[in-house]
Structure 1
């Protein structure tokens, strides 16, 4: 089947996602029962991003326009998917399908329901992807591999898959840079980047850089509407545990009853905790970010060239994880 047919089928699948029919609603409920981190609200965030950013015909056409897609491509591409946020492997799956290759999918046990439903649904639309999504517990007979996991898993994958063309992703996080000119409405949007998916994604902001004189307590007032995160038992357990550690260790911090802020140089922060640091010079910050490039997924701010507040979880098809061009990799196999 042609690239045009593949795009048309995926666009129709996007319409199914947009409509949220009874079958999808039932699936979403089942997914939340299977993994309590994957609340309906968080699934909605993901599905809306798919429907609006990934599965629009004009966006897919724009995406593939920069590549030469081999219509006779038939490589077996192993995908080891993460399970930290709902359906996080979607971009890799789409990239393999668009390229004409076959996705051999090893799902996370935390996220094992959506992609089989996706495969069944697109086969009802068209047979263009028949046998192009294969689910497996162990990768065998593959030509290339894309993995996403922890730093420890990444070291194992680098060794195990060294003989194959590969993309191996490790731990990353995201930061925000607040400026003196940012208003409350803009900072409220930043809360989406902090609290969506309970902060579990690599595109979630785990640290904010504040201008000298900024009162971090101001964010407690602005982000009051995100209090609903504490209603999730898993999040609350993490909040209680990490707050207790701060108190036992007498670590200076500020807190309300649903998240904490700690002045800390570290980019990565525990769940329910937001690190912060004051800065004087944006130029100094830029140099620091360049030195931390391998740890950073997104920089969120109003500074041109960065991701706008509230948009970190809405990447476009051409905004690749770790800035590694997945589709280029696949078209060169």
Structure 2
């Protein structure tokens, strides 16, 4: 075990992350705007609102109570660990999306070898540097690299295509390799106006770029889909983001040329489809007549789904408006990253 790591007791590791959460919560408007400008220059999708949402979620995740409730699930954290190099290839679709993996690696006592996404270097470096500022001993356990070397386990997040590449290159190591996932909602016709408003945040937060964003809704056979049109009006501002607007214009043109039927509220296209993954600016919908049959169908597709949002009876369901507020134990793809790391 590394000598330096012995000085980072579990309590000190916890204290560092709690302090990080408090720092994020206390950031001034000027600090947030400055960070946002840098991040947006690197990735135009990272608006100030998106950054605030992401950092607020991280700060909530790192509250002392959250960590205190999280730790008992992993008694191995109290044991000495033989630190190993953990290569982490991070995604960059939403601000700071790679942080949870970094958190797990460092809290478990291993060495983080982070290959950052070119779409999210500003936010991730900001967070990792702040960890070292709070607890300087972590400097030996955080490496930001262009090319991973001497890793003893790997965590990769990407698409179905990149997953094949990752399997080829890293399959010989203990690994977690994540593929494309998305989220869906099941409506039963009894939803309130409040439910629809909250569903809007599940769909539009981060412009729909995250795997926890709802890209499809299932509706009863005789459901009036136009009900959704007006309830999403508070999110009409998304069309002011030029990249989102470009997607909207492109997809609308394609549907018109193909004479595909769709609904349009000037910032979102609703289209009937059996597919799960809708393009940016499009929400798919599909009708169902048998709740049990739909449940069985989605259970079969569990490896393609991150979240199922509904008020109906569905295992591991998520309430409306909660997809973008994951807790520490809401692991991507349902694979317990901490358990994986502690078993190495």
TM-score (norm 2): 0.94
Instruction: Indicate the residue corresponding to 2:23 in structure 1.
Output: 16
Which of the numbers 314, 319, 322 marks the counterpart of 1:311?
A: 322
Structure 2: give runs of 5+ residues left out of the alignment.
Answer: 1-7
- Higher mean C-alpha displacement, 70-79 vs 201-210: 70-79
Residues 6 and 128 in structure 1, CA contact (< 8 A), matched pair in contact too = no
In the other structure, the counterpart of 1:273 is: 282
Q: 2:3 matched to which residue of 1?
A: none
Q: 1:24, 1:182 → 2: CA distance? A: 36
The change in CA–CA distance for 1:63 and 1:73 in structure 2 (over 3 A counts) is farther
> Counterparts of 2:11 and 2:127 in 1: how far apart (Å)?
19
Whether the aligned pair in 2 keeps the contact of 1:78 and 1:105 (CA below 8 Å) is yes
What does residue range 1-333 of structure 1 map to in structure 2 within 5 Å?
Answer: 1-21=8-28, 22-52=30-60, 54-67=61-74, 68-69=76-77, 70-304=79-313, 305-333=316-344
**Cα deviation per residue 1:118-161 (whole Å; 9 max; x = unaligned)?**
22222222224222210001111111000000111000101110
Find the aligned partners of 1:290 and 1:330 in 2 and give their Cα distance: 27
What is the number of equivalent residue pairs in this alignment? 332
RMSD over aligned Cα atoms: 1.2
Q: State the shift of 1:51 in Å.
A: 0.7
Q: Residues of 2 paired with 1:230 and 1:330: CA distance?
A: 41
For 2:140, what is the secondary structure of its paired residue? coil
- Provide, for residues 67-121 of structure 1, a one-character-per-residue CA deviation record: whole Å limited to 9, x for no partner: 1124333111000001111111111010001101111000011101112222222
Distance 2:33 2:137 in 1: 25
4+ residue segments displaced more than 4 Å: none
**Paired residues of 2:33 and 2:48 also in contact (CA < 8 A):** no
Q: Is 1:9–1:128's contact at 8 Å kept on the other side of the alignment?
A: no
Alpha-carbon deviation of 1:303? 2.7
Q: Give me the whole-angstrom Cα distance separating, in 2, the residues matched to 1:252 and 1:209.
A: 17
User: Where in structure 1 are there 5+ consecutive unaligned residues?
Assistant: none
Could you tell which deviates more after superposition, 299-308 or 239-248? 299-308
> Is the alpha carbon distance of 1:131 and 1:25 closer, same or farther for their aligned partners in structure 2, counting shifts above 3 Å?
farther
Residue 251 of structure 1: SS of its match in structure 2? coil
